[in-house]
Amino acid sequence: MIELNLPHPVCAASALTDQPLAVRLLGQDWVLWRDEAGLPHAAPDQCPHRGARLSLGRVCSGQLQCPYHGWRFAGSGACTQVPALPGWQPPASHGLATRPLTAAHGLLWLQPQGDVQALPTADGKAFAAEDDARLRKLLVGPCEVATSAPRIVENFLDLAHFSTVHAGWLGDADHAEVPAYTVQINLADSAQPGVLATGCQAWQPQSNRLSTEGSWVDYDYRVPAPFCAVLEKAPQAQGGYRESIALFICPQDEEHCRVWFRMAVPDFASTDEELAAFQMTIFLQDQPVLESQRPRRLPLTDAAPVQEVHCAADRTAMAYRRYLREQGVSFGVQ
């Protein structure tokens, strides 16, 4: 499964404090903790001794202590102490198979196996707004969503639902038509690999927290990795206003995800709560429809029991599906 060899966000960096934290990724349970230097570590959430959940334990002097017999593990994974045998040096076989965690965009990213890959946004282009000092950054979430990661990405890329699901906000029944736009799939060795949709337009009554009138809004979308998407939008009525929102998904299992929105906005006047409230208003409009979709796993292959039909307004979604097939993605699809 290629997804195991990709980094995925598992929690907000601020959520990992001085106690172990349980997370779930791609159907596997992990425990996270910080060592004395504050560096985060991850290991399978199962003690190598008798299988107890390590996340029920505690952190002592930067070491993870199992809740059952109190074995302690260093950030390297080495078992450093067995309380029942003081002075005994446990062998390497008694340690944890730890994995490194990468901090970025306010999140901690975990790659379950293989040589650690660069994050999907590491090229500085997929989410260039993160490094733009003129934009204010904010992490919104997590939102627990009962569907597959590809369904969530497709919804994020979808322009044709604005006039219905987001009527009065991101769309309007009198402007339901989706104007033509350009979609391409770039190969892995290109400057911007993944799916790219440019020249998208939508008429939006309330495009962002600061908009005071309806406006045509220019959109670009990018999918730099199977479970990640980024948009840039610029309302024509707000000259110079350009914001970017990244969708970061932790696929907990095939049909359950934890979702964050990383916002980069030229709005320094609103409070964090106000900005988050706007984003959540929009997402809570999406969520019931998103969770109602059946099957929850994206029908991707000819063998899928249900074959969905498409129209020309779905070109980004169709390109995304082709990209998933080319990447060999098998999690959250059928």
Backbone angle region of 93, left / alpha / beta, with phi > 0 → left and psi within -120 to 50 → alpha: alpha
Say whether residue 78 binds ligand FES (CB under 6 A).
Answer: no
Tabulate helix, strand, coil % of the chain (nearest 5): 20, 35, 45
Say whether residue 74 binds ligand FES (CB under 6 A).
Answer: no
Residue 219: alpha-carbon gap to chain centroid = 20
Beta carbon nearer to ligand FES, 64 or 107: 64
Angstrom distance (rounded) from CA 62 to CA 82? 16
Say whether residue 59 binds ligand FES (CB under 6 A).
Answer: no
Angstrom distance (rounded) from CA 270 to CA 222? 27
Angstrom distance (rounded) from CA 177 to CA 192? 29
Residue-by-residue DSSP string for 64-121: EE-TTT--EE-TTS-EEE-TTSTT----GGGS---EEEEEETTEEEE--SSSPPPPTT
Beta carbon nearer to ligand FES, 69 or 125: 69
Do residues 297 and 153 touch, judged by C-beta distance below 8 A? Answer: no
User: Rounded to the nearest whole angstrom, what is the least distance from the CB of residue 62 to ligand FES in the complex?
Assistant: 18
Say whether residue 154 binds Fe ion (CB under 5 A).
Answer: no
Say whether residue 69 binds ligand FES (CB under 6 A).
Answer: yes
* C-alpha closest to that of 264 among 172, 95, 136: 136
Options 64-72, 108-116, 269-277, 289-297: segment touching ligand FES (CB under 6 A): 64-72
Beta carbon nearer to ligand FES, 66 or 153: 66
Helix axes 149-157, 272-292, angle to 10 degrees: 110
Which option in ligand FES, Fe ion, none does residue 286 bind, with CB closer than 5 to 8 A by kind? Answer: Fe ion
Coil, helix or strand for 26? Answer: coil
Site string for ligand FES, 159-188 (x = CB under 6 A): ------------------------------
Residues numbered 277-296 forming contacts with Fe ion, rule: CB under 5 A: 286
User: Rounded to the nearest whole angstrom, what is the least distance from the CB of residue 238 to Fe ion in the complex?
Assistant: 20
Angstrom distance (rounded) from CA 228 to CA 208? 22
Residues numbered 18-47 forming contacts with ligand FES, rule: CB under 6 A: 47
Beta carbon nearer to ligand FES, 66 or 178: 66
Beta carbon nearer to ligand FES, 73 or 331: 73
Options 67-75, 133-141, 274-282, 322-330: segment touching ligand FES (CB under 6 A): 67-75
- # residues contacting Fe ion (CB under 5 A): 1
User: Rounded to the nearest whole angstrom, what is the least distance from the CB of residue 71 to ligand FES in the complex?
Assistant: 4
Among 12, 28, 58, 68, binds ligand FES (CB under 6 A): 68
